[in-house]
């Protein structure tokens, strides 16, 4: 993941100070949440994501996790992002059907 060249706190400060930046940022975040919501719905349709999860709320959660990951990475916090060991993926995936039943 490329390191963002501006301090995250300065970016958030600028977004809060300038309405035009705020509107653009808000639109970007809403678009991200909408796309993730659609991806969740498709994953649920294909039985890849648990169907008992609300797609809109999961889209919001994934967006929030993504933003947090960017911010932590930006300030140099070491993160293990190996998808093979992702607790998030383990929580989201539809459990395999019991082959013995």
Q: Give the whole-angstrom CA distance, residue 6 versus residue 18.
A: 17
Residue ranges per domain, the chain?
8-92
pLDDT in tens, 48-65: 999 999 999 999 999 999
| Of 59 and 11, the one with more pLDDT | 59
Per the CB < 8 A criterion, the answer to whether 55 and 40 are in contact is yes
16 has pLDDT over 80: yes
- CA angle in degrees (0–180, nearest 5) for 87-47-38: 85
What is the reported pLDDT for 57? Answer: 97
| Closest to 86 (Cα-Cα) out of 70, 62, 53, 52 | 62
19 has pLDDT over 50: yes
What is the reported pLDDT for 3? Answer: 56
- Predicted confidence band at 100 (pLDDT cuts at 50, 70, 90)? very low
């Amino acid at each position: 993941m490329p390191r963002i060249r501006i301090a995250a706190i300065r970016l958030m400060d600028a977004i809060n100070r300038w309405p035009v930046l705020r509107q653009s940022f808000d639109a970007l975040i809403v678009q991200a949440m909408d796309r993730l919501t659609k991806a969740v719905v498709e994953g649920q349709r294909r039985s890849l994501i648990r169907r008992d999860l609300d797609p809109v709320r999961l889209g919001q959660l994934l967006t929030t996790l993504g933003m947090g990951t960017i911010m932590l990475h930006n300030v140099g916090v070491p993160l293990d992002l190996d998808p093979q060991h992702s607790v998030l993926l383990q929580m989201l995936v539809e459990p395999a059907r019991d082959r013995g039943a």
